[in-house]
Amino acid sequence: MKRVKYFFFFFILLAAAGLFFVESFLKSEPITLAQGEEKMIKLPSPVLAGEISLEEAIEKRRSVRTYKDEALTLEEVSNLLWAASGITADWGGRAAPSAGALYPLDVYLVSGEVEGLTAGIYRYLPESHALVVTVEGDRRSALHAASLLQDSVKKAPVSIALCAEYGRITPRYRDRAKRYTKIEVGHIGQNIYLQAESLGLATVAIGAFKDGAVQKVLAVEQDPLYIMPIGRKQ
Ligand SMILES: Cc1cc2nc3c(=O)[nH]c(=O)nc-3n(C[C@H](O)[C@H](O)[C@H](O)COP(=O)(O)O)c2cc1C
């Protein structure tokens, strides 16, 4: 009888250890969602009246690499994404110019600490001013590693990644397509810099990273061109 008791106790212990192992394994692995599984998160409308003038924003703008250890609000995220690629004209024109209005750049939010938004990677949908989650879980450490361990990426509550889908622009612009896309990333990047400044936030445009590693973190095949960590000014 004693033997049976010991066996039972040992069995329970083994099952508990097994459950713990499976749970921690699942937690450590990012969950990438297939296209059909994506759920849309509507963003609040962007606020179109800033606290400072455009000229002040241009004058004050600097690349900043350290931030307060504070979450961003969903309103701030909404304005940042709108400034990057939001729709600003009835016909679909966006905040930043694009050759032939073909918009070859997609905007991703790598969210760690945003009030009311679960940590994860989201693709911005300009037409509906919404986000779809593409990878669940906090991927900032992985993005930091892929960005050659640049501290700014580790410290920021969010990063915006700008990725090129050349297929949208190559049929029309052929051998000019990559050139145009790389010019466009500068327009979007500058809008993000100025919007951050206007909101009392700060950012830095990061071009030094391992392309393949960033693609893995974002779960994309597109060409990552900029990563912009964003946080509250210290
Ligand atoms: C194409 C490009 C790539 C950049 N890459 C990085 C980078 O990998 N890491 C970084 O900390 N800053 C990066 N920067 C930011 C520059 O270092 C910064 O713009 C420069 O020092 C001038 O400072 P300012 O932006 O405050 O005027 C990059 C800027 C550009 C335009």
The pLDDT assigned to 20 comes to 44
| Residues 161, 139 contacting (CB under 8 angstroms) | no
**Residue 39: pLDDT band by 50, 70, 90 thresholds?**
confident
The pLDDT assigned to 82 comes to 98
Tell me the Cα Rg of the chain: 21
Q: Which of 193, 173, 169, 180 is nearest to 97 (CA)?
A: 180
28 has a pLDDT exceeding 50: no
Q: What is the pTM of this model?
A: 0.87
Percent of the chain with pLDDT over 70: 84
Tokens 């930043």 correspond to: 96
Q: Which residues line ligand 1 (CB under 6 A)?
A: 62-63, 65, 150, 152, 204-208
Candidate from 63, 148, 151 with most ligand 1 atoms within 8 A of CB, to mutate: 63
* CATH 3.40.109.10 matches 33-232: yes
